[in-house]
């Protein structure tokens, strides 16, 4: 019997981290449930791109018509029949259980309501929770979670926040679906210490991306990046540093800003390529270490079994590193300009026993890949068999 699956999340916004999550879910569905792309429909802002890039059926995430209320009502009219045709609706993964940008709780709450009205089984899958800033957002998200046949999150802090706002359902912690990305491993020459570093940056408090602009905080962050890189290169002049992006063009713009302020640009390169998820894994694999600001640059580097260092621009980055037991390898983005030697100090530590560090991250990679399948096992055992 054919099983029809719908997936709704933050897909189609040119964010390669979110696309890595989607590709991971699709591969999990194939591996665990033998569900092909022909039987998957993705709700996205760019349905044509979803069809071309992922080979799935795609529908528009929302249909703009007048104000917010009219848009949601029109979206329900258009997509409710689609939801009714599904055997399962997967809401997730990614950091969608929040109200930071004002509309997430309403939008994903709407999909939960459509599933309820059509009696379609629905699950929250590998989501990150927070920030939740308003009472209305908390109410809608609590209602959404409590309507689900299954609730899974990607870290313990998300589980705790759900409990805090009143979610009563069982909450399971699983690995991020992006850990199931399949890629072609390459033969890469490894070094006896750190010789090449890949870095991602994010437009922290810049108006091109952030909900509110604060150029003082943005410039503190940029200055912190610059001073940390310059001090690192002063101690290790033979290290190469490659900037790359998981969201275009915003991340590339900020990396170029960092690059333009460096006094020493000799061994620093800005890659402006728009990589897909598998390309991002391959890019990370070619480097010794990834210093990531974006969460999924860290996750995809770990898929490639590379050591990671983090800049915590959002609590989800810090939560992820703590979950891995790597709290000593993450710095809060607000503190970066206060510690010029953070990069240098962390690379020094990795170099003390580089072989052991590489092995540690190999083991972490294997553990997270195994953990990522837990969510699909739960769907198979607790949702689709009932």
Burial class for 381, CB neighbours closer than 10 Å (0-12, 13-18, 19+): exposed
Q: What is the arithmetic mean of pLDDT over 113-126? A: 97
100-104, 131-135, 261-265 — which is least confidently predicted? 100-104
Give per-residue pLDDT as tens, 224-265: 999 999 999 999 999 999 999 998 889 999 999 999 999 999
Give per-residue pLDDT as tens, 11-27: 988 888 999 999 999 99
Q: What is the arithmetic mean of pLDDT over 159-186? A: 91
- Identical fold, 5-173 and 196-368: yes
In this prediction the pTM is 0.89
**pLDDT bracket for residue 125 (50, 70, 90):** very high
DSSP category for residue 15: B
Q: What is the separation, in whole angstroms, between the first and last Cα of the chain?
A: 15
Q: What is the pLDDT of residue 273?
A: 87
Cβ-based neighbour number of residue 136 at 10 Å:
12
C-alpha to C-alpha distance for 7 and 121, rounded to whole angstroms: 12
Phi, psi of 304, rounded to the nearest 5 degrees: -80, 5
Q: What is the arithmetic mean of pLDDT over 166-172? A: 96
CATH architecture, domain defined by 196-368: 3-Layer(aba) Sandwich (3.40)
Q: What is the arithmetic mean of pLDDT over 91-111? A: 86
Asked if 245 contacts 251 with a C-beta cutoff of 8 angstroms, the reply is: yes
C-alpha to C-alpha distance for 108 and 104, rounded to whole angstroms: 6
Q: Long-range CB contacts (< 8 A, 24+ apart) of 348-352?
A: 350/194, 350/289, 350/307, 351/193, 351/194
Q: What is the pLDDT of residue 1?
A: 64
Give every CB contact of residue 349 below 8 A, 6+ residues apart in sequence. Answer: none
**pLDDT bracket for residue 77 (50, 70, 90):** very high
Rounded percentage of the chain residues whose pLDDT exceeds 90: 81
**pLDDT bracket for residue 203 (50, 70, 90):** very high
Rg over CA atoms, the chain: 21
Q: What is the arithmetic mean of pLDDT over 111-117? A: 97
Give per-residue pLDDT as tens, 322-368: 999 999 999 999 999 999 999 999 999 999 999 999 999 999 999 99
Domain positions in the chain: 5-173, 196-368
Q: Is the pLDDT of residue 128 over 70?
A: yes
Given the structure tokens 């092909």, which residue do they identify? 36
Instruction: Provide the 3-class DSSP secondary structure of residue 18.
Output: helix
Question: Which residues in 81-206 belong to E strands, given as ranges?
Answer: 88-97, 122-129, 150-153, 171-173, 196-199
176-185, 283-292, 327-336 — which is least confidently predicted? 176-185
Average per-residue pLDDT for the chain: 93
The correct answer on CATH 1.10.10.10 for the domain covering 5-173 is no
Give per-residue pLDDT as tens, 139-152: 999 999 999 999 99
Q: What is the pLDDT of residue 301?
A: 97
Q: What is the pLDDT of residue 344?
A: 97
Give per-residue pLDDT as tens, 331-344: 999 999 999 999 99
C-alpha to C-alpha distance for 384 and 29, rounded to whole angstroms: 12
Q: What is the arithmetic mean of pLDDT over 97-103? A: 77
243 or 107, greater pLDDT: 243
57 or 273, greater pLDDT: 57
Q: Is the pLDDT of residue 386 over 70?
A: no
């Amino acid at each position: 019997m054919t099983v029809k699956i719908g997936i709704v999340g933050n897909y189609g916004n040119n964010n390669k981290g979110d696309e890595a999550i989607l590709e991971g879910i699709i591969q999990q569905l194939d591996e665990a449930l033998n569900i092909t792309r022909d039987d998957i429909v993705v709700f996205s802002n760019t349905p044509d791109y979803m069809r071309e890039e992922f080979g799935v059926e795609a529908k528009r995430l929302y249909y703009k018509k007048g104000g917010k209320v009219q848009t949601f009502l029109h979206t329900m009219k258009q997509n409710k029949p689609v939801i009714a045709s599904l055997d399962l609706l997967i809401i997730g993964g990614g950091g969608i259980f929040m109200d930071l940008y004002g509309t997430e709780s309403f939008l994903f709450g709407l999909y939960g309501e459509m599933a309820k009205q059509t009696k379609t089984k629905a699950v929250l899958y590998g989501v990150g929770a927070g920030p939740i800033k308003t009472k209305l957002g908390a109410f809608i998200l609590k209602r959404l979670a409590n309507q689900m046949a299954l609730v899974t999150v990607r870290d313990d802090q998300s589980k705790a926040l759900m409990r805090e706002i009143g979610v009563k359902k069982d909450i399971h912690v699983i690995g991020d679906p992006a850990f199931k990305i399949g890629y072609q491993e390459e033969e890469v020459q490894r070094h006896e210490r750190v010789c090449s570093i890949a870095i991602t940056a994010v437009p922290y408090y810049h108006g091109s991306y952030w909900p509110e602009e604060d150029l003082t905080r943005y410039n503190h962050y940029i200055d912190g990046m610059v001073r940390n890189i310059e001090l690192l290169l002063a101690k290790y002049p033979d290290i190469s540093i490659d900037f790359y992006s998981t969201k275009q063009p915003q991340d590339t713009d900020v990396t170029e800003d960092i690059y333009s302020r460096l006094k020493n640009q000799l061994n620093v390169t800005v890659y402006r390529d728009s990589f897909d998820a598998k390309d991002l894994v391959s890019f990370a694999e070619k480097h010794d270490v990834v210093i990531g600001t974006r969460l999924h640059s860290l996750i995809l580097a770990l898929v490639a079994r590379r050591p990671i260092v983090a800049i915590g621009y959002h609590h989800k980055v810090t939560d992820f590193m703590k979950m891995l037991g790597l709290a000593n390898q993450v710095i809060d983005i607000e503190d970066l300009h206060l510690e010029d030697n953070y990069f240098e100090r962390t690379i020094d530590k990795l170099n003390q026993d580089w072989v052991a560090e590489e092995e540690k991250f190999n083991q972490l990679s294997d553990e997270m890949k195994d953990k990522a399948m837990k969510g699909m096992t739960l769907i198979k055992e607790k949702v689709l068999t009932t």
